[in-house]
């Protein structure tokens, strides 16, 4: 007697988890399990034919063209050297606060996130720019390293965000609305980080002293250096918010502005070529993950596992909020062992249908998932942002970086609690978009 579809589906999910934890790349494990699963259900010829068409059919989707553009913006911004100007301006305006340089780092990273699509890139850049300044001012290593690691996670929320685009592609949500929805949560997260820094610095003054002595003239003279970043923010936000451009067109405009800025900063051909190559490499990696997971999703569709999971969740006699907290707990555990994109691609095909049937807004849930992905960049043993900072600053032990990031994980939980209690903090802005 052959195995039933439900049994095959459970075996497939178990096999995928085993392969991932055994160290097999997510896209390879997902594609292999999906291919074998589909073939076991409908046969070799039909199964191989269906699976073989997925990479091409999904790659020609116009929506996906926004990915390389958002990635390119980040690499061009890095080579344009705008990070120092952002940090200097933030330092002069916010340095007077307890832990002022750390607060300045948070808002400088937040501004840089508007022209960067990768959290690890933001962490690497500010590990070079902000950490030396903080250590020179006598800040504790754990605060300097922790705030840079945590600040980098804002990159996932504040557009342009590669993680958001991947979420939108998986669940077929509006990329434009999702990107717009990230602004307020990104600001709230930055304010939560600021609260943690101020409380920490007041409680233990030796951790981070205020930086004083800047005149109002010096502060105002630092503003022009931030104008290019503000221009990119206005272009991307306004174009999508008012419906003047699609996310792809807004990304192209943003990339063009940053490219012109990089040229005015003296960017050489080799540097530009390197930015293009790095963009291509990261784009191919993300596309490979998408292909592999979509093959696995097709397999899940054949065994109807998402529908069965939704029915089981709806049958639970508990409030939806309790179920949502349980889902976030699963993400927290998975994030200790997987990268953000792999974690999302692995779970969303099963979890998303249940979340929607519980009555949650898909844009709201997207921001919550992206925020959880940011938390996972700070938690051991993976904690990718912490590893990046430790690699850039070998004088700061990895254990110190993780200890410094822990208070900011608490700040992230505070932000998530705000989003759970007041969903309007996420949904209000996209609801006002021009249709």
Among 106-115, 215-224, 300-309, the least confident range? 300-309
Percent of the chain with pLDDT over 90: 9
pLDDT greater than 60 at residue 434: no
**Residue 40, in any domain of the structure:** no
Q: How much is the CA Rg of the chain, to the nearest whole Å?
A: 22
Q: What is the mean pLDDT of the chain?
A: 82
pLDDT band at 58 (very low <50, low <70, confident <90, very high): low
Give whole-number Cα distances, 112 to 50, 105, 226, 342, in Å. 42, 10, 10, 25
Average pLDDT over residues 62-76: 76
What number of other Cβ atoms are within 10 A of residue 44's Cβ?
10
Q: Which H or E element spans position 171?
A: helix 162-171
| The token pair that represents 110 in the structure block | 């937040």
What pLDDT does 117 receive? 61
Pairwise CA distance, residues 12 & 47, whole Å: 15
Pairwise CA distance, residues 248 & 295, whole Å: 25
What pLDDT does 190 receive? 92
What pLDDT does 198 receive? 92
**Residue 55, in any domain of the structure:** no
Average pLDDT over residues 47-67: 75
Question: At 209, is the secondary structure helix, strand, or coil?
Answer: coil
pLDDT greater than 50 at residue 162: yes
Report whether 261 contacts 80 (CB < 8 A).
yes
Pairwise CA distance, residues 218 & 94, whole Å: 13
**Residue 80, in any domain of the structure:** yes
Q: Exposure string (b/e) for 381-418, b if CB count within 10 Å is 16 or more?
A: ebbbbbbbbbebbeebebebbbbbbebbbebbebbbeb
Average pLDDT over residues 209-229: 82
Pairwise CA distance, residues 126 & 122, whole Å: 6
Interval 110-147: pLDDT, tens: 887 777 666 777 787 788 888 888 888 888 889 999 99
What number of other Cβ atoms are within 10 A of residue 46's Cβ?
12
Q: Which position has the token pair 């909020």?
A: 321
Percent of the chain with pLDDT over 70: 94
pLDDT greater than 50 at residue 1: no
Pairwise CA distance, residues 212 & 20, whole Å: 50
Pairwise CA distance, residues 279 & 173, whole Å: 24
Interval 349-369: pLDDT, tens: 888 888 888 888 999 999 998
For residue 212, what is the DSSP state? -
Pairwise CA distance, residues 344 & 368, whole Å: 12
**Residue 38, in any domain of the structure:** no
Q: Tell me which range, 51-65, 114-128, 257-271, 387-401, is most confidently predicted by mean pLDDT.
A: 387-401
Interval 274-292: pLDDT, tens: 888 888 887 787 777 778 8
pLDDT greater than 50 at residue 323: yes
pLDDT greater than 50 at residue 420: yes
Report whether 364 contacts 108 (CB < 8 A).
no
Q: Which position has the token pair 């949560």?
A: 185
What angle, rounded to 10 degrees, do the helices at 340-357 and 26-42 form? Answer: 50
What pLDDT does 47 receive? 78
**Residue 361, in any domain of the structure:** yes
Ordered DSSP codes for 259-305? HHHHHHTT--HHHHHHHHHHHHHHHHHHHHHHHHHHHHHHHHHHHTH
**Residue 170, in any domain of the structure:** yes
Report whether 5 contacts 266 (CB < 8 A).
no
Average pLDDT over residues 400-428: 91
| The token pair that represents 421 in the structure block | 């209690």
Pairwise CA distance, residues 151 & 147, whole Å: 6
Among 52-56, 184-188, 221-225, the least confident range? 52-56
C-alpha distance across the termini of the chain, in Å: 54
Residue 128 domain boundaries: 63-290+305-431
How many folded domains does the chain comprise? Answer: 1
Q: Which position has the token pair 């095959």?
A: 8
**Residue 34, in any domain of the structure:** no
**Residue 35, in any domain of the structure:** no
Pairwise CA distance, residues 379 & 372, whole Å: 11
């Amino acid at each position: 007697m052959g195995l039933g579809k439900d049994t095959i589906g459970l075996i497939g999910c178990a096999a995928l988890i085993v392969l991932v934890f055994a160290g097999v790349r997510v896209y390879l494990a997902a594609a292999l399990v999906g291919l074998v699963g589909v073939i076991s259900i409908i046969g070799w010829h039909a199964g191989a034919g269906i699976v073989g068409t997925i990479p091409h059919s999904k790659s020609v989707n116009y929506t996906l063209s926004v990915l390389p553009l958002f990635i390119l913006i980040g690499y061009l911004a890095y080579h344009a050297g705008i990070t120092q100007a952002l940090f200097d301006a933030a330092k002069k305006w916010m340095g007077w606060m307890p832990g002022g340089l750390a607060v300045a780092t948070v808002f400088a990273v937040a501004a840089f996130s508007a022209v960067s699509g990768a959290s690890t890139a933001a962490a690497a850049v500010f590990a070079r720019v902000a950490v030396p300044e903080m250590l020179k001012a006598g800040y504790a290593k754990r605060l300097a390293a922790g705030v840079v690691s945590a600040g980098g996670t804002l990159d996932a929320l504040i557009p342009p965000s590669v993680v958001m685009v991947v979420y939108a592609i998986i669940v077929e949500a509006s990329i434009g609305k999702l990107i717009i929805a990230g602004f307020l949560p990104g600001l709230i997260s930055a304010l939560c980080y600021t609260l943690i820094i101020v409380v920490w610095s007041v409680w233990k003054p030796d951790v981070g002293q205020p930086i004083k002595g800047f005149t109002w003239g010096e502060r105002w003279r630092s503003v022009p250096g931030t104008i290019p970043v503000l221009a990119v923010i206005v272009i991307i936000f306004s174009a999508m918010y008012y419906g003047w451009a699609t996310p792809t067109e807004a990304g192209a405009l943003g990339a063009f502005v940053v490219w012109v800025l990089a040229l005015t900063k003296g960017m050489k051909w080799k540097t530009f070529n390197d930015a293009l190559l790095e963009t291509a490499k990261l784009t191919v990696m993300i596309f490979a993950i998408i292909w592999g997971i979509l093959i696995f999703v097709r397999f899940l569709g054949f065994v109807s596992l998402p529908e069965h999971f939704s029915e089981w969740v709806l049958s639970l006699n508990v409030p939806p909020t309790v179920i949502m907290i349980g889902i976030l707990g699963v993400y927290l555990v998975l994030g200790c062992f997987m990268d953000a994109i792999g974690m999302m691609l692995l779970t969303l095909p099963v979890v998303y249908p249940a979340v929607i049937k519980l009555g949650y807004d898909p844009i709201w849930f997207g921001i919550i998932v992206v925020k959880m992905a940011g938390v996972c960049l700070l938690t051991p043993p993976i904690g990718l942002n912490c590893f990046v900072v430790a690699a850039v600053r070998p004088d700061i032990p990895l254990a110190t970086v993780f200890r410094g990031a822990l208070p900011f994980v608490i700040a992230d939980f505070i932000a998530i609690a705000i989003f759970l209690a007041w969903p309007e903090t996420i949904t209000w802005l996209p609801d006002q978009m021009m249709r």
